[in-house]
Structure 1
Amino acid sequence: MKLVFKKIVLRFSFPAGTSRGVLKEKPSWILNVENNPLVVGECSVIPGLNMDYTDDASYEEKIQWTCSTFNLLYTQLDLDQLLHFFCQELIDFPSILFGVESILYRINLSRGNDVFDSAFARGESTIPINGLIWMGTIEEMKSRVRDKMNEGFSVLKFKIGALDFEEEYRLISQIRAEFGEGLEIRVDANGAFDSENIDEILKRLGDIKIHSIEQPVKTRDWTLMSRICLNSPIPIALDEELIGVNVLGAKQQLLEAINPQYIILKPSLHGGIKGTLEWISLAKKMNIGWWLTSALESAIGLEVIARLAGTMAPEIPQGLGTGGLFENNFDSPLVILNGTLKYKNVKA
């Protein structure tokens, strides 16, 4: 068995706007076992956001080390021992760790051992998901809202913070007025606001019954973030705040200091599968809500995240509706049906 890799560039079907800029393409590195196309994994990065990625050359050097080490150890260790080894060695490289975890998962699967077996994986249930409304012109965003509503979504998440807030607020207010409180609206600011304006913004979002706001201000100001979480009229969800916090004790310290209402978890950013499960365990103990979301993976990585989510039978909608973002994506066994995620051609 030989593990190899190749880089791909995923092209967005439309300019995907965030408060950090407009995304037109993004890189991923695909791990695969030679002569076995079913054993694949994905190392997905978002340049400027992933702390384990600075440039292609250094990133590929680490992936090459990972593949070479995997090939050396594969005949010496069992799969559990390999997983333990790489969870330690790649603790600061969550996107690469997620790729390796996916490879080991699929090796297990090829041996008839599905460690993510669930009603979802068997096609007996679906996973509720939110529809994502990327930033664009107001007219573009209105069109995307109509499309998502026609597709059966009852939960929409808006990217905000890049346009004029008054325009964004007007749009979301119109959506609320048209569809009523039966539509759950989440917003994601990606750290766009600051201590000068956040209180007024949260008050206004509370007036139109927003479900929650992700990462309202920039990271690493725990004093400000904890004050916001304590006083906000709407729940606060941490996302970027969790990036780079990879040691269990540090995770607990962060959650105790800030005490958010929710955390948003992306395995490629937040410690791979192992790190994600640590965050969830801590959140449950502290009565903090959570949901999983993709970090713009291709169909390869998204399927593994969906299978992981399926093991927990989530009732709160997850952020796993990104499969249609890319014009050159891989074929996927997943399909979106009435605001839920399910396996194709499997009766649910």
Structure 2
Amino acid sequence: MYEITVIPRTLHFKQPAGTSRGVYTTRKVWYVNVTDPATGRRGVGECAPLPALSCDDLPDYEAILERFCRETADSGKIDYEALRPYPSILFGLETAFAHLKAGNLQLWHTPFSEGKAGIPINGLIWMGNFEEMYRRIEEKMRLGFRCIKVKIGAIDFNKELELLEHIRKHFPPSQIELRVDANGAFTPADAPHKLEMLARYNLHSIEQPIRAGQWKEMAAICASSPFPVALDEELIGINTLQKKKKLLETIRPRYIILKPSLHGGLCGAREWIDLATERSIGWWVTSALESNVGLNAIAQWCATLKPAMPQGLGTGLLFTDNIDYPLHIQGDCLWFHPEEKEPDLQAFLRK
């Protein structure tokens, strides 16, 4: 019923992207190109598992992707249940079909897609040495971000506290919301002491203070932390409705952070949001180092949810060989400009 081709690409970061798991200089992605032979219309989606993090980061990923694309092309529909273990593949197919249906990059009709409203985003401070992080923080504050997220866990903890103190010397919580992301860098033993020290800086939240999979320990930290804990990596690989409920009811976080490529595609992320809302748990959405193809899809979808707090949607602008989309960061918001000419996606895929 459809024709679907898979196009692998390697993207290159403008500057090394440091995390607690190492430094990324390149990013492997696969684009899925869906064609409706009856109309000639096409839709493009992005499949981008993160190495050593995504539950579907598998040695035979491309073969699995090709198989699901063949099955989807033949059946004419996405098999959501079969794709639960493969969130990045599900996300790529979901968004390719959304693009096919819409006929342009305005995947859903919202004030964002019409260029009438931006989506507030956080300014992200990547890990680096003290001087690099200090310079990046200064730049984000100069640009007027009202929410700054600092990745911690890569340099000396006392140096990281100095960076947070620098922000707070210039901007109280009423002017800048400050989030930190530990990416699981603390141990259950040292986390309580480090959280007490971090609390001095009136933080909005901390993401994933200890590594994922320690539900009992994480529940204790969430219950005793002097400021809110948000789960991110903890949600990876929790793909069924029953397991999602069990995780939320066991750990009881204040927030969850959703990356559709990691957390079940758009369908699975919406499940997380519904379950969290039922339990008075807050949420926000972020990208997972996708190019502008994936970033646009996440932003367009996020806008339909009418988010209540700053989102993490600026990372698609990190690559030297990104495709140019009508997405722009202005102040502390991501904007979509529908009046701009759309890029030639098919020419990009043929390169």
- Of the three residues 292, 297, 318, the one matched with 2:285 is 292
Amino acid in the other structure paired with 2:312: G
Q: Which runs of 5+ in 2 are unaligned?
A: 341-351
Distance 1:266 1:25, change over 3 A: same
Work out the CA distance in 1 between the residues paired with 2:204 and 2:26: 30
Determine the C-alpha separation between the residues in 2 that align with 1:301 and 1:113. 11
Q: 2:169 aligns with which of 171, 177, 185?
A: 177
Q: Which moved more, 1:96-105 or 1:116-125?
A: 116-125
After superposition, the CA RMSD in angstroms is: 1.8
Q: Aligned equivalents of 1:64 and 1:345: distance in 2?
A: 33
SS at 1:27's partner residue?
Answer: strand
The equivalent position to 2:122 in structure 1, one of 101, 106, 130, is: 130
CA distance in 1, matches of 2:105, 2:168: 46
State the one-letter code of the partner of 1:298: S
Secondary structure (helix, strand or coil) at the match of 2:329 reads: strand
Matching residue of 1:39:
43
Indicate if the aligned counterparts of 2:113 and 2:338 stay in contact, CA closer than 8 A: no
Which residue of structure 1 aligns with residue 74 of structure 2?
72
d(CA) in 2 for partners of 1:97 and 1:287? 27
- The separation in 2 between residues aligned to 1:164 and 1:346, in whole angstroms, is 47
CA drift at 1:345? 5.7
Secondary structure of 1:24 counterpart? strand
Question: 1:315 Cα shift?
Answer: 2.3
Q: Does 1:307 align with 2:300?
A: yes
Corresponding residue of 1:229: 222
Name the structure 1 match of 2:347.
none
Residues in 2 aligned to 1:278 and 1:291: alpha-carbon distance in whole angstroms: 13
Q: Which amino acid is the alignment partner of residue 22 of structure 2? A: G
* Normalised TM-score (structure 1): 0.93
Show the counterpart of 1:324: 317
Equivalenced residue count is: 335
Q: Which residue of 2 aligns with 1:78?
A: none
Q: How far apart are the structure 1 equivalents of 2:108 and 2:198?
A: 38
Partner residue of 1:149?
A: 141
Deviation by residue 1:10-43 (Cα, 9 ceiling, x = unmatched)? 1111111111111111111001135968510000
Query: Structure 1's 195 and 279: CA in aligned 2 closer, same or farther, altered over 3 A?
Result: same
What is the letter of the counterpart of residue 194 of structure 2?
Answer: I
What residue is the counterpart of 1:23 in the other structure?
Answer: 24
CA–CA distance in structure 2, aligned partners of residues 287 and 128 of structure 1: 22
Q: Is the 8 A contact 1:105 1:114 kept in 2?
A: no
**Are the equivalent residues in 1 in contact too, given 2:314–2:334 (CA < 8 A)?**
yes
- Superposition TM-score, scaled by structure 2 size: 0.92
Task: Tell me how far apart the structure 1 counterparts of residues 159 and 132 of structure 2 sit (CA, whole Å).
Answer: 13
- 1:29-86 CA-partner distances (Å, limit 9, x unpaired): 001135968510000111000111122xx10111111221122123xxxxxxx13xx2
Q: What's the CA shift for 1:344?
A: 2.5
Q: Give the Cα separation in 1 of the matches to 2:64 and 2:145.
A: 40
For 2:116 and 2:27, how far apart are their aligned partners in 1?
34
Higher deviation after alignment, 28-37 or 145-154: 28-37
Please say if 1:53 is aligned against 2:57.
Answer: yes
Distance in 2 of aligned mates of 1:330 and 1:221? 39
Provide structure 1 residue ranges, at least 5 long, that are not aligned to the other structure. Answer: 75-81
AA aligned to 1:196 is A
Q: Which letter does structure 1 place at the counterpart of 2:202?
A: K
